[in-house]
Structure 1
Amino acid sequence: MERPYMHWEEAKSFMMAAFMKVGVPQKDAEVCVDVLLESDRRGIESHGINRFKPFYIDRIMKKIQEPVTHLEILKDTPTTAVIDGHNGMGMVIAHKAMCMAITKAKQLGLGMVVVRNSTHFGIAGYYATMATEHGLIGMTGTNARPSIAPTFGVENMLGTNPLTFAVPTDEAFPFVLDAATSITQRGRIEYYARNQQPTPAGLVIGRDGTAQTNSKQILSDLVSGKAALSPLGGIGEELAGYKGYGYATLVEIFSSALQAGSFLHQLSGVAEDGTARPIPVGHFFLAINPEFFMGLENLKHTTGEILRQLRASEKAPNHDRIYTAGEKEYLTWLERKDKGVPIGEELQNEFKQVRDLLKLDIRFSFEKP
């Protein structure tokens, strides 16, 4: 059954009203909504408006996330900075941090800003592409609630910890590699559960070392520690899962050690008495100015040539197209820009729940007359 589409402006207007009703200032709400909608513009539905209620509205209502963001700059140098987000809105904190990195890179070639005590910041690619919009290379990463088991282990220790890069090109879209360091991410399993689909075998292992496929049960078991995601590459060494494990560990270090932040099980979100508590994640942001090397135009042209030659290389049987990172997301935007954001039945119900809970005078286009 095809899902109906909600116009971008309708989705924006509703989420703006809801965020502001729970105490998020208007300018901050605009950033938060733009990050969520950008995820759906790119077709990354696991991190878009599907997470509006459970990751943001619910956490604010439960008082484990602050609607008003109080940024504190702990250290600031010409090329670096350390920020404490005090459990405010992760998207607002991340946006400010990348803006600082961009300003520093424009002036001195490189800018790196690290953050502690933040919250979930949406898709990492949003912040990396902020840099490309200024003719810079962008890089970012974040730790998260424990989900990944180390190679030869079954306990969820590391977050899905994306390591994300964006590079300007001479094409209509930048090169954007935005991926978790696990085979899949929690958001994808949330998507499977929301649509009553099983999780493919091999993505999640239980404490007994066997594959789990019940999506809703997996989400519960990831929180309780009864299941863990496999690192990128797979279980054990034969499929090189140690590579994903290593990259996830690197992101964990960069998201905590430079800023004296929280890590591993300190990010569980569960207090000793079993109650929910803030998840004080850390982020890092790096901007690189190509003008301090061989220039922006050279970077864009060479990057574009690399991508074009990759796409033009010999195709495997039964495949007529090769894609490069960021291309599918661009094509999704071309397809959705006039149609809007797809909104399934469960998400429709969540929107209605938020509207009714907050007593917003709104009628959605998907509601029957």
Structure 2
Amino acid sequence: MTAPAQDLSVPIDKLLTFAEAILHRLDVPAEDARLTARVLLEADLRGIESHGMAHLVDFYMRRLQGGHINPRPQIRATSETASAATVDGDRGLGFVVGHHAMERAIEKARETGVGIVAVGNSTHYGAGAYYAMMALEHGMIGLSMTTGGRLMAPPGSRGRVVGLNVLSVAAPTPREFPYVLDMATSVVAAGKLEIAARRGQPIPEGWAVDADGRPLTDPTKLHPNGALLPLGGTPATGAFKGFGLALMVDILCGALSGFGTSAEINSVRTAAHCFGALRIDAFQPMDVYLERMEGMIAALKQAPTQEGAGEVRVPGELEHALAQERRAAGAVPLHPAIVEGYRAAAEERGIVFDLVETP
């Protein structure tokens, strides 16, 4: 058996420059290209490689080339109050649309205590944690949700009926790391299957089913008719919880924006989002809130653990530590196949390729 290819260490500064150049050649304005590159990189820094730079060429570049993403969207509010708004993303890059909408939610929360912005007619926005975490520096709790491509089977079904919908929450803590929940409402994100396929690895039973509803362990067989299972797996193990959460995201994103839910719109090319910001001092003085957060974390850290398990980790803690480590190293790991895709894209677009040394 051939040994799996080892990841390559790619310098952060060169990766950002390359990503910006690729996007700019596709008519994305310089500021939007920088933002998109930064959001993708942030996912890799935090170890969320399923939503990072691996998708730059095969996903975002190809969709820009195909006209499925508008490089210069006219993002506009279609309805607005002091604390809420609905935004039309004009099929722009989800990173750009999402950043705009979350900034609007934060501004509303600054004035009223709470800001909610629903977005329709957008596209894939990468890792949702980025937008939720935008609220942290403003003394706010951030919320971010998005619909995904219709690829989930409801409990007891064997068809693709519901989107791979995602929700994220970020909250300040008195520790060096914030609380950050970033989760698919399926057992795993679809990107996990892409990673397994790229590495030639099987997936565990309970992640996905084939067209007949039988367990699927070969990630390359997911398409065209397989489906991921809701968080919880089967009805006996709590699948209705993941299914219910997926529909909640559909309601807050697709129905609230008026754009449509994933059950209605069978497209991986468009998406609806919902963003929220809660100004903490509109509810409690910040010091009281932080005291409660410290009490919660301290209690978790003191909890007895299983043998060899180590201390309890708060959601977002490990990702924060990894991001610090990778920033200090000045590089992120990328699979050789991804880097080769970059090389081909650079040649296609007439861009200098210097991400890794050529043997």
Normalising by structure 1, report the TM-score: 0.93
| Deviation larger for 309-318 or 137-146 | 309-318
- Offset at residue 125 of structure 1 (A): 0.4
CA distance in 1, matches of 2:160, 2:301: 37
Question: Is structure 2 residue 355 aligned with structure 1 residue 364?
Answer: yes
The 8 Å contact of residues 6 and 366 in structure 1, kept in 2 or not, is answered as no
Match among 318, 321, 345 for residue 328 of structure 1: 318
Where 1:63 maps in the other structure, the secondary structure is coil
Amino acid at match of 1:327: E
CA distance in 1, matches of 2:341, 2:294: 42
CA distance in 2, matches of 1:6, 1:298: 43
For residue 73 of structure 1, what is the aligned residue in structure 2? 77
The 8 Å contact of residues 262 and 280 in structure 1, kept in 2 or not, is answered as no
For residue 354 of structure 1, what is the aligned residue in structure 2? 345
CA distance in 1, matches of 2:263, 2:61: 24
CA distance in 2, matches of 1:13, 1:67: 18
Question: Is structure 2 residue 307 aligned with structure 1 residue 309?
Answer: no
Question: Is structure 2 residue 121 aligned with structure 1 residue 117?
Answer: yes
| Deviation larger for 317-326 or 119-128 | 317-326
For residue 232 of structure 1, what is the aligned residue in structure 2? 231
CA distance in 1, matches of 2:139, 2:335: 37
Match among 18, 22, 25 for residue 18 of structure 1: 22
Residue-by-residue CA offset, 1:280-312 (whole Å, 9 max, x unaligned): 210000100111111222222311321232122
Question: Hey, which of these two has a bigger chunk of strand by percent?
Answer: 2
CA distance in 1, matches of 2:290, 2:160: 40
For residue 262 of structure 2, what is the aligned residue in structure 1? 264
Structure 2 runs not aligned, ≥5 long: none
Question: Is structure 2 residue 241 aligned with structure 1 residue 243?
Answer: yes
The 8 Å contact of residues 116 and 281 in structure 1, kept in 2 or not, is answered as yes
Question: Is structure 2 residue 108 aligned with structure 1 residue 104?
Answer: yes
Match among 31, 38, 45 for residue 34 of structure 1: 38
Q: Percent identity, aligned pairs only?
A: 31
Change (3 A) 1:315 1:338: same
The 8 Å contact of residues 254 and 262 in structure 2, kept in 1 or not, is answered as no
- Offset at residue 69 of structure 1 (A): 2.0
- Offset at residue 134 of structure 1 (A): 1.1
Where 1:294 maps in the other structure, the secondary structure is coil
How well do the aligned residues superpose, as a CA RMSD in angstroms? Answer: 1.3
CA distance in 1, matches of 2:152, 2:350: 39
The 8 Å contact of residues 131 and 142 in structure 2, kept in 1 or not, is answered as yes
Amino acid at match of 2:144: T
Structure 1 runs not aligned, ≥5 long: 270-277
CA distance in 2, matches of 1:204, 1:262: 25
CA distance in 1, matches of 2:242, 2:181: 15
CA distance in 2, matches of 1:53, 1:266: 29
Match among 43, 49, 56 for residue 47 of structure 2: 43
- Offset at residue 73 of structure 1 (A): 1.2
Question: Is structure 2 residue 282 aligned with structure 1 residue 292?
Answer: yes
Amino acid at match of 2:77: I
Amino acid at match of 2:241: K
- Offset at residue 154 of structure 1 (A): 1.1
CA distance in 1, matches of 2:11, 2:332: 6
| Deviation larger for 278-287 or 346-355 | 278-287
Where 2:73 maps in the other structure, the secondary structure is coil
Normalising by structure 2, report the TM-score: 0.95
The 8 Å contact of residues 144 and 267 in structure 1, kept in 2 or not, is answered as no
Matched ranges for 1:200-211 at <5 A: 200-211=204-215
CA distance in 1, matches of 2:298, 2:212: 46
Residue-by-residue CA offset, 1:117-138 (whole Å, 9 max, x unaligned): 0000010000000011211001
Amino acid at match of 2:338: L
The 8 Å contact of residues 267 and 279 in structure 1, kept in 2 or not, is answered as no
Where 2:150 maps in the other structure, the secondary structure is coil
Where 1:298 maps in the other structure, the secondary structure is helix
- Offset at residue 319 of structure 1 (A): 1.4
Which consecutive segments of 4 or more residues in structure 1 shift more than 4 A? none
How many aligned residue pairs are there?
Answer: 354
Change (3 A) 1:347 1:74: same
CA distance in 2, matches of 1:69, 1:31: 14
CA distance in 2, matches of 1:55, 1:301: 43
- Offset at residue 266 of structure 1 (A): 4.6
Residue-by-residue CA offset, 1:41-77 (whole Å, 9 max, x unaligned): 1100000001111221010011111111210211121
- Offset at residue 158 of structure 1 (A): 1.3
Change (3 A) 1:366 1:294: same
For residue 202 of structure 2, what is the aligned residue in structure 1? 198
